[in-house]
Amino acid sequence: MDAYEEARRAQYAKIEAVPLECAIFERFDIEMTMEQARDCSHPGDCSQDVEELIDNPDIVKQIERIGANAIREELAEYGAWDDEELTSDAENVLRILWIAASNIVEENIQNT
């Protein structure tokens, strides 16, 4: 086991007990902790917080598994972005993570 893997395991051992929340879309689901969701869904500009979330290895794996086309198709159904805006895969990832975080936070508020 290399140093990177050891550090990763130590990191996950600390957060292992933190439950994941799930944002359910038509084509896929995205999981994150409530803390991550709250960090990316708040009044004001959330873009920097969402950009930081993209560096999380678990988020990266999910986004890679989902794929750019599924994300683009999901976002297209919202009608908030035109075809030209949806050509940027990087921007689409930011958008879908922000929506996922917002959905998780809103659902949590409704259930309390």
pLDDT tens-digit profile of 73-110? 999 999 999 999 999 999 999 999 999 999 999 988 77
Query: Residue ranges of the domains in the chain?
Result: 20-110
For 25-63, how does the pLDDT look when each residue is reduced to its tens digit (9 = 90+)? Answer: 999 999 999 999 999 999 999 999 999 999 999 999 999
Report if pTM > 0.85: no
Distant-in-sequence contacts of 88-94, Cβ < 8 A, 24+ apart: 92/68, 93/54, 93/63, 94/47, 94/50, 94/51, 94/54
Q: Give the number of other Cβ atoms within 10 Å of residue 110's Cβ.
A: 7
**29 beta partners:** 24
> Token pair of 52, please?
């930081």
